[in-house]
Amino acid sequence: MLAKPLAIPTEASISAGWFNQCFANLGLKTQVAEFTAMQIGTGQIGKCIRYSFAFKDAGEQIPDVPGSVIGKFPADDESSRVIGVALQNFFKEVCFYQQLQDRLAIKTPKCYYAEIIDQGPEFFVLLEDLAPGEQGDQLLGCDPVVAKAALTELVGLHAPSWCDESLRGLTWLRDEEQAQSSATLDMYRAQLDGFIERFASHLTEDEQWIIKQVSIVENSPFMASFPEPFSLIHVDYRLDNLMIDRSGGGCGITALDWQSITLGAPMNDVAYFIGAGLEADVRRPVEEELVKAYYHDLLNAGIKDFSWEACWQNYRRGAFAGFAVTVIASMLVQRTERGDEMFATMARRHARHALDLNAQEFLV
């Protein structure tokens, strides 16, 4: 029997009946009697709500039915919703859960529902609640233990999709014509002056210089051709988009926010995470060790014909991966106090990372 179609809810329209139909469509019969809702997270394009359930008969509750879930809606801010549509953020996240999640080894939350109207902004994703895991904190950064665990998990995204030509048939993943245009560079240039004016006081002169230099050179990293090797990349793989679970004595990582997934250079994700997540004095002593651990995990996952020398060179080039996210997003999404602090921190860390790696040699 086909599952009964289920309309996309809003915060106002979602009901116990909607949850019951959603679970019934999945073969789960427990009845939700009522629920509470609480906003969580720090997203600026999406808005996350934790729904905690009370059941009609707790004694008959089926174990697979969760006691709480996370619902993801578009942000309330109109400009953020417009950006989410223009950059296909909403569309990509829904498509990820519909088409790609089951093909990958990276740990992601169980998805109960994912639907969208056209390319948004009307969409809804219903996900597993990962408590007692806690969201990473981009402002605080992380230690090398968390960094190593996050990079190990990242192999589960890259290795299963490594140079998989079939993925190029998913046009929503990467628009080849758009990717080879100057659109990203044009957006970067358009936002750059305002970005520098807003964040200059947080940046040293050489950090400001390299952020500007990316927009000046002819071979800007934002104009790169299709990479070799390529894989699925998260694009925004950073602490705010990870849930960290230390409850079992280890360090479990679950990746969230698949709004930017595309095909690209896998080392961009590695460099982006390390550059954004570790303060320079924490990063420098362990950086090569972290990248080597990721590289050996790739080899153990069956990746061949990728030398350590190529890995390290691509990692250095990847130091620019965070520049576009930081400059463009900071000026387009809804402005908040935490958002400004986060983007200032990321700009400083990414710029210092590129300078430490002498990545400016690629900007000629």
pLDDT in tens, 62-101: 667 888 999 999 988 888 888 888 889 999 999 999 999 9
pLDDT (tens digit, 9 = 90+) per residue, 221-269?
A: 887 778 899 999 999 999 999 999 988 778 999 999 999 999 999 999 9
Q: What is the mean pLDDT of the chain?
A: 90
This prediction's pTM: 0.91
- What is the 3-class SS of the chain, one letter each residue? CCCCCCCCCCCCCCCHHHHHHHHHHCCCCCCEEEEEEEEECCCCCEEEEEEEEEECCHHHCCCCCCCEEEEEEECCCHHHHHHHHHCCHHHHHHHHHHHHHHHCCCCCCCEEEEEECCCCCCEEEEEECCCCCEECCCCCCCCHHHHHHHHHHHHHHHHHHCCCHHHHHCCCCCCHHHHCCCHHHHHHHHHHHHHHHHHHHHCCHHHHHHHHHHHHCCCCHHHCCCCCCCEEECCCCCHHHEEEECCCCCCEEEECCCCCCEEECHHHHHHHHHHHHCCHHHHHHHHHHHHHHHHHHHHHCCCCCCCHHHHHHHHHHHHHHHHHHHHHHHHHCCCCHHHHHHHHHHHHHHHHHHHHCCHHHHCC
Least confident range from 219-228, 301-310, 318-327: namely 219-228
- What is the structure's pLDDT at 66? 87
List of domains in the chain: 16-128 (3.30.200.20), 134-362 (3.90.1200)
